[in-house]
Amino acid sequence: MSAETEWVSDDDQELWRAWQEAHAQLDLAVQRDLRLARLSHPDFIVLVQLTDQPSGALRLGELARLARWDRSRTSHQVTRMEGRGLVRRGRVDDDRRGALVEITPAGRRAIEAASPSHVATVRSVFLDRLDRQDRRDLRRILDRLRSEPDASGGSDRPVGA
């Protein structure tokens, strides 16, 4: 049995494409900025999550959840970052199977060096283009969008990065 596809209207298609284009432009600007600091955007996401923790460490599964990545992608990213000395992987004391990801001093220096330029980029390509009401409206919309479970059945918990 085949269900009939409900196509989107021309206006909705234009809205979706505008969102995709704006997101791509913003992401490209952030990637360019981070590349100057010799970090990838995924590097930055991991380092932000780790520096948000008082201990500077997270279990691999929790890091994956916060980044909204699957465990395999997270593990591969951590492996790449380990090779560059930005993080180290260890074992969880009370769980022999659990992996702990910890920021290293080099990782902390890298994110501290990248952050001023990153903040300037976020301001110039995103925040400074929106007035106070735009920001409130966009926040309300984004909170609604990100509070729904993703299509893969992932977490419905909002994430900040």
Q: Indicate whether 6 belongs to any domain.
A: no
Question: In the structure encoding, which two tokens stand for residue 79, read together?
Answer: 């492996």
How many other C-beta atoms lie within 10 A of the C-beta of residue 94? 6
Residue 121's CATH number: 1.10.10.10
> How many H-runs (helices) and E-runs (strands) does the chain carry?
6, 3
Domain assignment of residue 75, yes or no = yes
Render pLDDT for 77-123 as a digit per residue (tens, 0 to 9).
999 999 999 999 998 776 667 799 999 999 999 999 999 999 999 99
What is the per-residue pLDDT for 161? 39
**Domain count within the chain:** 1
Q: At 146, which helix (H) or strand (E)? A: helix 132-146
Quick one: DSSP state of residue 127? G
30, pLDDT greater than 80: yes
Provide the domain limits for residue 33: 11-146
The four Cα atoms 115, 120, 160, 43 give a dihedral, to 10 degrees, of -40
